[in-house]
Every structure is written in structure tokens, then in C-alpha cells.
Amino acid sequence: MLPRPPAPAEAPTPEAPFWRSALRHFGAALLAVAVIALAVGLLSMPVKAQTRPELRIGYQKSASLFVLQKAQGTLEKRLAPLGFGVKWVEFPAGPQLLEGLNVGAVDVGYVGEAPPIFAQAAGARFVYIGVDPAAPRAEAILVAKDSPIQSVADLKGKKVALNKGSNVHYLLVKQLEKNGLKLSDIQPIYLPPADGRAAFESRNVDAWVIWDPFQAAAEKAGGARMLADGTPDVVNNYQYYLGERGFVQKNPKVVQALFADAVEQGIWLKKNLRQAAELIAPLQGLPVDVVELALSRYEFNVKPITREVAADQQRIADTFHALKLIPKPIKVSEAVVFAQD
């Protein structure tokens, strides 16, 4: 067993991610004031050292590897020789993280398959820069342990809760297709995870389509039964690293350092699942056994984007357009930094 990672380093306090857009209207006036103040100040004040640049990382609390990296301070140590600091900015969900990336509040982020598709359809500026291996077991269709539903085909006419336009929306569509059904053959109930769990536990819906760690929590706490997940060969459920194009082009060594640290910490995590879960669980507010189960269904080994991976993401985008979830077709390749580029 590898030694326990170093003690957590103190992380910078995250800024509110959306204040810049609110102040944008005042930019010209503030700039004029700043120029005048700078001109006067330089006459009477010594020159200060330039602030060290920072890699601003957008993350969600459910992103276990980023939570571990943040707690351990390993990335800060890796970036120090490059003259960069690290700023961790937490977002409640993928769409908000993409908006933060679009308005310049963060430089890189980590999300699932669906948010980038909606963001690209809305004209957001970002590029795909890396991908973690497929995790088809980390999302599933759940039913109560005593439910009479025994197969996906049994969902016909039933109420199924899911988060609209998310990765699990695609999972549900593909599992229904595999079993000779369409989305119109069931009663989809669109609810965010917290409301979906409440509806599922109160038996107001017959099934719930959800991802980890919510999936693991439902299985461990409520004895939910997994009806179907992304296997075999139904969906991949990739997790993506995204970046602001200009930052990525100007700072390739910073991006390489981020990936190197993610791979190293991911290897340690997979070899020390219980210890990693004990570190992550209190930060996510979940029981250790729930986090351990969720971690076991993910792989952490970031790689550059290949055309095969981009083609998989394109299939999801095309499906969402056919379902009228996005207003226009998109070309995922236009927002990708490929491995050979």
C-alpha cells in the first residue's frame, strides 16, 4: 500500500463565480478611474511585484478526484516551479461551471458529457482538452428493492424520474432503444437529483435514473436495486476536462502539470480506495462506504481527446437535438483540441 498523501494544504477561498458579468457594464468607467489612479499613484508609491498568475479550476463537490487534489495541495506543489498558483472555484453543477468558463471566471473545468453540449449550442467559448476513461457503471436506472419491475422493458407506461438534459437522459434513451421502447413509451418526470431521490423514496415514481455518488447513496441507504447501467456497450459516460482556448494555447505546460497530477493522484486513489474515501467523504458530506462504492465505478487517468471520443460525444449531441433538447445541431469537433493537434 502506498503511503498516505501529505496533509491538506490550505486552499484559497473561492470567489463568487458570476460577479464579473454583473460588473461588466461598469467596465469603461472603472477603467478610466483606474488609469487616473495609477498615473497619480506611480508618482508617489514604490513599484510592487507582479502578482503570481493562477490556474483557476472550476469543480463540483461530487468530482471526487478534484476534491482530493484540492484537499492535499498536490497541484499547488507541482505548479510552483512554473510560477503558477492555484485557485479552486466551486460550482453547484456543470451548467454553472460552463458559464463560469465562458465569462472568464475560471481557466479549466471538469464535467460530464451533457453540459458541454448545451454550452456549445448556446455559443459558449471553451475547448475539450482531456477525457477520463469511460465509466458506464457510474450511472444507472434504479428501482425499489421490492419493485415488481425486473427489466427495462417493464418500464413501459411507468413514471421514471431523471435530470433533464443530463448524462442519464442519454442513458435512459439508449436503454429504452435497446429494449424496443421509446421515450414516449414511459412517463418521464424531470427532477434534479435531490427532488428525484425524494420522489423515488416516497414511491411517487417507479424508477430513478441517476449518477454517482447519488446512485451509491440510494443503493447503500435505501437498498435501491440497479435495473440497468451503461453496460454492456450502451453508453460510455465519459468525464471531460475543458479549458478556455486562449489559456490552453498560452500555457501548455500548466495543462500538462494538471494532467500529470490528476493521473498520479488517480493511481493512488484506485490503489487505496478506502483511505481515499475516508479523506473525501467528510468534504462531500457523505458516508465513507457510499463514497468508496462510487469511487470504485470511476477510472481516473486523463488522456488527450481522440477522434473516437469526439465521435461518441457527437452522437449524444445529435440525440439531444433529435429530442429537441438543444435548439440547433452542433459540431463537437469545432470545440476540441485533439491529441495530434
First vs last Cα of the chain: how many Å apart?
38
Residue 50 DSSP class? P
Q: Is 221 exposed, middle or buried (0-12, 13-18, 19+ CB in 10 A)?
A: middle
CATH of the domain at 222: 3.40.190.10
Among 76, 119, 113, smallest CA distance to 97 is for 119
Given 229, 251, 286, the domain boundary residue is: 229
Q: Answer yes or no: is 307 within a domain.
A: yes
Q: Which residues span the domain enclosing 224?
A: 136-229
- Kindly state whether residues 144 and 224 are assigned to the same domain: yes
What's the pLDDT at 23? 30
Claim to verify: residue 258 and residue 171 sit in the same structural domain? no
36-55 burial, b at 16+ Cβ within 10 Å, e below that, comes to eeeeeeeeeeeeeeeeeeeb
Q: What is the pLDDT of residue 213?
A: 95
Q: Does a structural domain hold residue 340?
A: no
- pLDDT at 50 (0 to 100): 54
Residue 119 domain-assigned (yes or no): yes
Examine the domain organization and report whether 140 and 279 are in the same domain: no
pLDDT band with cut points at 50, 70 and 90 for residue 52: confident
| The three three-digit cell numbers of residue 200, written as one number | 423515488
CB proximity list for 191: less than 8 A, separation 6 or greater: 161, 162, 163, 199
Query: Looking at residues 304-314, what average pLDDT do you find?
Result: 97
Residue reference for cell 487616473? 36
**Domain finish residue from 229, 257, 282:** 229
Q: Is the confidence at residue 230, as pLDDT, over 50?
A: yes
**Same domain assignment for residues 131 and 151:** no
Q: Give the chain's domain count.
A: 2
- pLDDT greater than 70 at residue 173: yes
Say what the pLDDT of residue 222 is: 85
**Predicted confidence band at 225 (pLDDT cuts at 50, 70, 90)?**
very high
User: What are the φ/ψ torsions at residue 38 (nearest 5 degrees)?
Assistant: -65, -40
* Residue 153's pLDDT band (cuts 50, 70, 90): very high
From 24-38, 300-314, 321-335, the region with the lowest mean pLDDT? 24-38
pLDDT of residue 329: 97
Question: Same domain, yes or no, for 212 and 76?
Answer: no
Q: Kindly state whether residues 204 and 258 are assigned to the same domain.
A: no
Residue where a domain terminates, one of 229, 256, 274: 229
- Whether 219 maps to a domain, the answer reads yes
pLDDT in tens, 6-47: 443 333 333 333 233 333 333 333 333 333 333 334 334 444
Looking only at Cα atoms, what is the longest distance across the chain?
80
Does one domain contain both 201 and 259?
no
Residue 68 lies in a domain: yes
Selection from 69, 169, 185 nearest residue 112 by Cα? 169
